[in-house]
Amino acid sequence: MEPTGAAAVIIGNEVLTAKVVDANGPHLIKRLREVGIPLRTLEIVPDEVDLIVEAVARARLRAKYVFTSGGIGPTHDDVTVRAVALAMGRKVVRLPEMVALIREKAVDAPTAEAMRLADAPEGAVLLAQPGSWYPVLTVEDVFMLPGVPQLFRTQLEAVLAQLRGTPMHLRVLYLNLGESAVAAVLDRVALDMPHVAIGSYPMFDRSLDYAVKVTVESVEPDAVEQALARLQTGLPAGSVVRTE
């Protein structure tokens, strides 16, 4: 069975040592959700080639699309390109079109370090990014995005414009009872309607007007509404604070 959905590998010692709070993982989760591409896994690894290779290999087994974040700059710790190449059994080559872009944009003769930006796994292609000279580096549905959040976000949009997903339909119930009081009803509807995802999330903030948030989602809007109606019918009277 062919893998579906997406997987992400966030790369950087700075994330794992709390020097930087990762913003790219949460943003990717949100945007994939909005376009209807399910995210299967998200893994954070340091700037170590072996660990990146393992993470990318796992991601490719789990999902059709793989997004990496970080490690594609010109410095010594930017090892993502080499690691992705190893994970895919490819050589690292220098892309002539990227060399031309770097030379075109350089004020002076580009340094050897700057030219590292032209290195890529063999067979990689460049995806044009509207409004920027710097393209997205991609090879066989692996998208190597920068770690800088602003750059990550703009390059992500260039990638998502090329992909197609199936948006989920979501309804939410807010309940004033604890999970133990509503679990039987949730279980029954979930078992009867396995094509609808039902989630239950208890809250412990007394300032809120509800105790449990229940989500009902599916790619089929009619199924969502049917499941919602069954839940509302089966739940104790007065337990639904509101629906969204």
- How is the chain split into domains, by residue range? 6-160, 169-243
Beta bridge partners of 6: 39, 65
pLDDT attached to residue 37:
97
DSSP letters, 12-49, are -HHHHTTSS---HHHHHHHHHHHHT--EEEEEEE-S-H
pLDDT attached to residue 5:
96
Q: How confident is the model over 16-40, as a mean pLDDT?
A: 97
* Beta-strand pair 240-243/169-175: antiparallel
CATH architecture designation of domain 6-160: 3-Layer(aba) Sandwich (3.40)
pLDDT attached to residue 100:
92
Instruction: Give, for 149, the enclosing helix (H) or strand (E).
Output: helix 149-160
Q: What is the pLDDT of residues 57-101, one digit of tens each?
A: 999 999 999 999 999 988 888 899 999 999 999 999 999 999 999
Instruction: Give, for 93, the enclosing helix (H) or strand (E).
Output: strand 92-94
DSSP conformation class of 3: -
Q: How confident is the model over 28-45, as a mean pLDDT?
A: 97
Q: Name the pLDDT band for 40 (thresholds 50, 70, 90).
A: very high
Considering only residues 107 and 168, tell me which one the structure prediction assigns the higher pLDDT: 168
- Exposed/middle/buried for residue 23 (C-beta within 10 Å: 0-12, 13-18, 19+): middle
User: What is the CATH T-level fold of the domain 169-243, as seen in this structure?
Assistant: Alpha-Beta Plaits (3.30.70)
pLDDT of 202 higher than 90: yes
Share of the chain above pLDDT 90, in %: 87
pLDDT of 208 higher than 80: yes
Give the sign of the dihedral formed by CA 158, CA 163, CA 166, CA 168: negative
pLDDT attached to residue 110:
85
Q: How confident is the model over 40-57, as a mean pLDDT?
A: 97
Q: What is the pLDDT of residues 108-146, one digit of tens each?
A: 888 888 899 999 999 999 999 888 888 999 999 999 999
Number of H helices, E strands in the chain: 8, 12
Q: Name the pLDDT band for 35 (thresholds 50, 70, 90).
A: very high
pLDDT of 52 higher than 90: yes
The amino acid occupying position 183 is: A
